[in-house]
Amino acid sequence: MNSLPFQKYNDATEYFGVQIPKLFYNNLITVEAYSNRNGYHTLDLLYDLFGFDVNEGNDARYQQTPIELYPFGRTGVAGTHFGFVIHTQDNEDYPSGELCPMDSDGVILIGNTSHALFQNLLTDPILIDKHSQLLKALELEPIISKHKRYEANGNGLRITVQPKKGWRFVYTSDGVGVFAEEKYFDTSHELFINDINSAKRVEYFEESAEEMRRKGFYGSQLFYLKELYWNEWTNYELAKKYLNQMLLPYEQLGRQHLYGTAKEILDSFDVRYPEWK
């Protein structure tokens, strides 16, 4: 059976491990209905037309996948996987990103909405023409999108979030950033991390994360911990240490979905990554 592993939204939420955008879910159901009417296999059509296999959230994760990236599929090439970047769960839609574990770029943008996600993944003119009826049902333009995912130099665009008054978004090397109320950031929060000597970076970031914890600047603490994890994730002991320390800022910032995801990964760390031990 080559069909979606869920038929109801609540089942999809459990499958992906987070409340995915309803438009994304509805589009998947639309693809399945079209496939059933026309004799196609749903998952094959999704892959052929949009370039990803639907995968259970945790099954698609890699060691360096940021907690904030909730995978919904992968390309089958070099471990590249797609997911929604969900800092807070109070929006109807979320930006989607792509992570290739073989690269150091971190998460790069697919689209800022679920509609843009599907539009921007269309790349084959022949398939676009062949399945124009489906694209019409999805309200997609039957063309390769003019909304570029890459800048002029060919570098992937970074994820951003919808701004909120009194909140702050800080970029991180893993590509997903930290998003929290201003009060949770130190006024002298370090942003220019590349200016710090690499030999001293771990020590400096660890000390800074601890200082931010003591001061209650949990957004800044999370920034330093995410930088540490991204740069040291291949070190088994350090990876566990930093992931464990992330639980506090996730909890203090009220991010129960991120806390739960980090805790689940941490609790199964030895089983999930036995090759690191």
Q: Please tell me whether residues 133 and 14 are part of one structural domain.
A: yes
Residues 27-69: tens digit of each pLDDT: 999 999 999 999 999 999 999 999 999 998 888 899 899 999 9
Q: Please tell me whether residues 228 and 269 are part of one structural domain.
A: yes
Q: Is 156 within a domain?
A: no
Q: Is 173 within a domain?
A: yes
Q: Please tell me whether residues 13 and 133 are part of one structural domain.
A: yes
Burial of 90 (0-12, 13-18, 19+ CB in 10 A): exposed
Structure tokens at 130: 């062949």
Say how far apart CA 227 and CA 215 lie, in whole Å.
19
Say how far apart CA 91 and CA 49 lie, in whole Å.
27
Give pTM, 2 decimals.
Answer: 0.93
Domain holding 256, by residue range, is: 167-276
Q: Please tell me whether residues 133 and 228 are part of one structural domain.
A: no
> What pLDDT, on the 0 to 100 scale, is given for residue 147?
64
Q: What is the pLDDT along the chain (277 residues), one digit of tens a residue?
A: 579 999 999 999 999 999 999 999 999 999 999 999 999 999 999 999 999 999 988 888 998 999 999 999 999 888 899 999 999 999 999 999 999 988 888 999 999 999 999 999 999 999 999 999 999 999 999 988 766 777 777 788 899 888 899 999 999 999 999 999 999 999 876 655 555 666 688 888 999 999 999 999 999 999 999 999 999 998 889 999 999 999 999 999 999 999 999 999 999 887 776 665 5
Q: Is 155 within a domain?
A: no
Q: Please tell me whether residues 78 and 192 are part of one structural domain.
A: no
Say how far apart CA 69 and CA 60 lie, in whole Å.
11
DSSP secondary structure of 9-58? HHHHHHHHTS---HHHHHHHHHHHHHHHHHT--HHHHHHHHHS-EE--HH
Q: Please tell me whether residues 13 and 97 are part of one structural domain.
A: yes
Q: Please tell me whether residues 48 and 99 are part of one structural domain.
A: yes
Domain count, the chain: 2
Q: Please tell me whether residues 174 and 268 are part of one structural domain.
A: yes
Q: Please tell me whether residues 128 and 194 are part of one structural domain.
A: no
Residues 121-134: tens digit of each pLDDT: 999 999 999 999 99
- 34, 79, 157, 170, 203 from 245: Cα distances, Å: 46, 27, 29, 19, 15
Q: Is 3 within a domain?
A: no
The secondary structure of residue 107, as a DSSP letter, is: -
Q: Name the residue type at position 238.
A: L
- Interior angle at CA 242, CA 238 and CA 247, nearest 5: 150
Say how far apart CA 23 and CA 200 lie, in whole Å.
46
> What pLDDT, on the 0 to 100 scale, is given for residue 189?
67
Say how far apart CA 87 and CA 161 lie, in whole Å.
8
Q: Is 146 within a domain?
A: no
Q: Please tell me whether residues 70 and 120 are part of one structural domain.
A: yes
Q: Is 152 within a domain?
A: no
